[in-house]
Each structure stands twice: as C-alpha cells, then as structure tokens.
Amino acid sequence: MTLQNSWRAGAAVLAIAIAVTLAVTPASALTAREKIQKLTFEPIEVTKQTPHRETLPNGIRVFTLEDHRLPLVDMVVIVKAGSLYEPADQSGLAELTGTLLRTGGTESMHFTDVDEKADAIAARFSTWVGTESGGALLNVHVDRLEDGVQLVADALRHPAFDPERYAVEMAQLREQIRRQNDSVQQIGQREFRKLLYGEGHPAARFPTTASLDRITREDLVAFHERYFAPNEMWIAFAGAITPARARALVDEAFGDWESKTVTYPEVPVVAGNSTPEMVHIQKESDQSIVSIGHLSMRRTDDDWALMRLANHVLGGSFSTSRLITEIRHKRGLAYATGSRFSTPYLYDGLFGAYAGTKGESTGEVLGILLEEVKKMDEAGVSAEELEVARNALVNSEVFEYENAQNIVQRLVDIDFYGLPENHYEAPFAVYQSADRKTLNEAIARDLKTDGLKILVVGDEAKFDVPLEDFGYPVRKVTLD
C-alpha cells in the first residue's frame, strides 16, 4: 500500500509552517489550544490493496494479501460449522470439537507429536468452533510455513479425537464450569445473555455438567464429519507469502480433499421477549455489575451504521460518551462503563449498557444507566454530539487498511456471509452524510426502552437503594 503524493507534499508544507510559527512567536505566547486551532490537515488517501482470490476445484476459496515487513505468515481458515447447529441438549459439543481438532491428534500423528511439532516450529496454532463459524488460526515464521500448513490441514481433515485427550479436555471444561461463578464480571456477562436470549437459544447456551454428560467422543467425530468440507471452507493468507505460493501450499495440503454436500439445520429463531424485568443475582463482592438492555438488530440491518454513530454518543466512546461522562468523569462511580450493540450476522443481536461500581452505589448507577438510555431514546443526539461521533468514525477509517490480515479477513467474511462487496465501506458513507433527523428517527426505532431487561450481580447487603424501588418486577436468582 502506498500513499499518494499529495500527502507527501503536505507534510513538507506543515514542517515549514511550524518553523515559521516558532521563529517569530515565543512558544509561550500561543497556547496549545491556539496552536491546534491553526492546524489544517491534508486529506489522507489510501491506496486500497485488493487481496488475490481464487477457488480450488474442490471449492476451497483462497485469499492472499502480501506484506513482507516481517518474515511471518498468518493463515486463517473459516469453516461453516458453529454451535448454531449443535443439538440443543448438547451444549459444549461444538466447542469441544473445535478444541480437539487441534489437541486430539490426527490419524497419522499422536497428539503429543502434533504438540511437539507445533512448538518446534514456534507456531501459534489453534482451532475453534464458535457460534456462527469455526476454523483454524496459524501464525508461523515463513521458513517453517509448509510444516505449519500441513499441521493445519491434517487437523481439519483427519482429526483423531484421541480418547485420552478427549477425557482431559472434557475434565477441563467441567473445571471451567466449576469456576464460572468465581467473579461478578464473569457472572454478569454470561447471565445477561441468558436473560435477553432465553436459555434455549444457542447464543446464550453455555455448557453445563448435564449437557456435557450427554456428549460422547463419537458425537464430536460425527459433528466434524458432517460440517467440515472443502466446499464450505475459506482460507486467508496474509504476510510474507505470494498468491502463487499460497495456491501451491493449499493444493498440496487440501487439493485432494473431495467436496460433499453439507446440509444445515435451521438456525433457531431468537425467542426472547420484551417484557420488562429485573434479575438480581446475589454474590458477596465489593463491586456490583449492573447491565441493562434488550434484543436488537443483526449486522446487516439498514440502521447498523446509524446505531454505530448513536452508540458512540451514548457509551461507545471511551473519551466522549454520555455514560463515561456521567458515571465516571462527573461522579467517580466506575472504572468500566459503556454501551454496545452486539450484532451477529445469522441471528438477532443485542443492545446493552453496563457499569461496574461499588456495592454502595449500585442503585445510583442503575438509575443513571436507565435515565441515559431513556433520554437517548426520547431526545436523540445533539448536533454537536453527532459531529464528534461523525469525525471520530470518519477520521479513523484509515485504520481499516493498516493490517493485511484484517483486510483479507474482511473479504473472507463478505464471501462467507454472502454480503455486498461494499459491506465494510458503506458505513463510512453513512457516517459522513447522516443528518440528525435521520439518526434520531433510527434511535427511536432501535432503542426499545419500554422492554428493558436489567441484571444486577452483587451483594444486596451493600446496596444504596432497594432494587424494588425501580418499579420493575424483581426476580432473585441463586447460583449453585
């Protein structure tokens, strides 16, 4: 990626301007504020690099973007396999499958040999199955790339799910469950999802000892067999590698893998409701975690870019947002506070605002969160706030082109989800042009303050205000 000449010239002009300023005016005469008011910025132009793409006969799509700054290569494999497709009563199946692809050995290599090999080439090598997709990540020195790609291919194509390693991973997942209530932050994140989505949806399904009891090693074998196929696979390379080398490596490692038809179960519809409700989880702790929110849009929603602007104002920006201002800057009530729209592609997302505060200010903070979200819903953003958010998002667009791996990953996502080619660029045009009226109408559509769910995790003995005082029905939940 190279810069255009206009910027180079601009830098030289700027340097002269400084020298002039300082030569004739004592530095103390101008304040920093005055100095920055005098600045003008040359427009930045980015030469956008297009990754190389091709499709193998068996359907694997390969994307490559060269970056020879360091002698390293990133390889990301995405497979259409996720916990969205696991049976509802076997929560943990997809996750365990994802882990054991890497750790369970292969048909030709014992797992200790795979571990040994991966460490000997100093690779970062992991596999996973998440909610919407699964795959593998590899970061390796270019001199040891071939060995790395072979390890990845072997893991994805011929995993052994060795019973000994399976038992270890299963026991570790059970230990994680045992530890899942050790801190209020952990409890808050998990239980908030459950509260919004309802426990049945994969987006809020967490492994339990009961769900693990219903999983066998053979279920992992079957899950892999069903969903891992070259025609449902995308591979992205970034770094010290040419498209030709990438193609040759993939041919060698994956070329003889035959395509097959994969059928997917229906993605479960999110069945959460919009009945206002407050849940309190008692936990002895110095700090309470307070979250409020509701189910919301997908990443492909027409309002997505507008809500990114709105959320920047409400609680998305660390420096300028209303929640940071009211809770942290003005009142000193929280180190961590903010809001977000979490927006997946294949199922409904969520909106949440949160804060962590000492037990004694739990009620005060909850009051502010409720008030700020309602105020945003009713009155929207001001013209000045919109300008700050607009500038922040528009000016940071250059960072989208800083990292080769991110660039190539975006292209994979576009292909994986079947999105329009301008999917990642389009929001910037919205940030640039959005007017206040349009934005505030969208806010009124997308913030649903009469259906808020509230979660408080903390020690009731310390609370400044009884939770019942907020007028929501309060349900008390006890964790095991």
Partner 1 sequence: MRLTSHAMSWIALILLAIPWSAEALQKEVVAIGGAEITVSREVLKNGLTVLIMENHTAPTIGFCTAFKVGSVDEWDGVSGVSHILEHMLFKGTESIGTIDWEEERFLQARIEEVRLQIQAEQSVRFHRDEEKIAKLTEEWMQLREAAKELANGREFGTILTENGARGLNAFTSYDATAYIVSLPANRLELWTILESDRYTKPVLREFYTEVENVREERRRSVEDSPGALLYERLTAAAFDAHRYGVEIIGWDSEIRTINRSEVEDYYRRYYAPNQMIIAISGDVDPEKTVAMIDAYFGDYKRQPPPHPVQTEEPEQLGEKRLEVEYDAEPRILMAWHKPTVGHPDNAALTVARNILDNGLSSRFERNIVNKGIAASISASVDNPGERYPNLFTVSAAVQSPHTVADVERAILFEMDRLKTEPVTAAELEKAKTQIETAYVRSFGSNMRSAINIAYEEAVLGNWKRRPEEILACREVTAEDVQRVAKTYFTKKTRTVGYTVKPEKEELESAMGGTR
Task: Please report, as residue ranges, which positions from 164 to 193 form the binding site for partner 1 (by CB under 8 A).
Answer: 165, 167-168, 171-172, 174-176, 178-179, 182-185
When asked if residue 96 is in the footprint of partner 1 (CB under 8 A), the reply is no
Mask of contacts with partner 1, 291-330, x by CB under 8 A?
--------------------------xxxx---xx--xxx
343-382: which residues touch partner 1 (CB under 8 A)? 356-358
Closer residue to partner 1, CB minimum distance, 222 or 394: 394
Minimum CB separation of residue 157 from partner 1 in Å reads: 20
Contact 54, 247 (CB under 8 A): yes
Report strand pairing: 453-458 vs 277-282. Answer: parallel
- Report 19-38 residues binding partner 1 (CB under 8 A): 19-20, 22-25, 27, 31-36
Q: Least CB distance from residue 297 to partner 1, whole Å? A: 24
What is the smallest separation between the CB atom of 171 and partner 1, expressed in angstroms? 5
CB distance 324 to 338 below 8 Å: yes
Residues near 140 by beta carbon (within 8 Å), at least 6 away in sequence: 72, 73, 75, 121, 122, 123, 124, 125, 147, 148
The nearest distance, CB 64 to partner 1, in angstroms, is: 16
Asked if 273 and 173 count as a contact pair (C-beta separation under 8 A), the reply is: no
- Of 70 and 379, the one with the shorter C-beta distance to partner 1 is 70
Contact residues for 210 (Cβ-Cβ < 8 A; gap 6+): none
Helix (H) or strand (E) holding 5: helix 5-24
CA-to-CA distance for 291 and 75, rounded, in angstroms? 37
User: Which range, of 53-61, 253-261, 299-307, 401-409, touches partner 1 by CB under 8 A?
Assistant: 401-409
Would you count residue 242 as binding partner 1 (CB under 8 A)?
A: no
Residue 5 CB, nearest approach to partner 1 (Å): 12
Least distance CB 114 / partner 1 (angstroms): 8
* Nearest distance from C-beta of residue 314 to partner 1, angstroms: 14
**What's at 240, amino acid-wise?**
A
Site string for partner 1, 2-21 (x = CB under 8 A): xx---x--xxx-xxx-xxx-
Task: Provide φ and ψ at 213, rounded to 5°.
Answer: -60, -25
CB within 8 Å of 100: residues ≥ 6 apart: 159, 161, 165, 166, 169, 220
Is residue 397 a contact point for partner 1 (CB under 8 A)?
yes
> Looking up tokens 């994805």, which residue turns up?
156
Least distance to partner 1, CB of residue 336, Å: 6
Helices (H), 288-425: 304-311, 322-323, 362-379, 383-395, 404-417
Cα separation, 246 vs 55, whole angstroms: 12
Least distance between partner 1 and beta carbon 46 (Å)? 6
CA angle 362, 363, 367 (to 5 degrees): 120
Rounded to 10 deg, the angle between the 304-311 and 383-395 helix axes is 110
Q: Is the dihedral of CA 84, 87, 91, 93 positive or negative?
A: negative
Residue 124 as a binder of partner 1 (CB under 8 A): the answer is yes
Nearer to partner 1, 14 or 267 (CB): 14
Q: How far is the CB of 324 from partner 1 (least distance, A)?
A: 8
What lies within 8 Å, CB to CB, of 322 at 6+ separation is 313, 314, 315, 372, 376
Q: How far is the CB of 340 from partner 1 (least distance, A)?
A: 17
For partner 1, which is the closer residue by CB, 266 or 384?
Answer: 384
Interacting span for partner 1 (CB under 8 A) from 109-117, 209-217, 219-227, 437-445: 109-117
Q: Which of 216, 274, 395, 432 binds partner 1 (CB under 8 A)?
A: 395
Q: Closer CB to partner 1, residue 85 or residue 166?
A: 166
Q: Segment contacting partner 1 (CB under 8 A): 62-70, 89-97, 225-233, 464-472?
A: 62-70
User: To 10 degrees, what angle do helices 217-227 and 163-178 make?
Assistant: 100
Regarding 231 and contact with partner 1 (CB under 8 A), the answer is: no
Specify the residue, 66 or 348, whose C-beta has the smaller distance to partner 1. Answer: 66
Tell which residue, 191, 227, 222, 196, has the closest CA to residue 206: 191
Burial of 412 (0-12, 13-18, 19+ CB in 10 A): buried
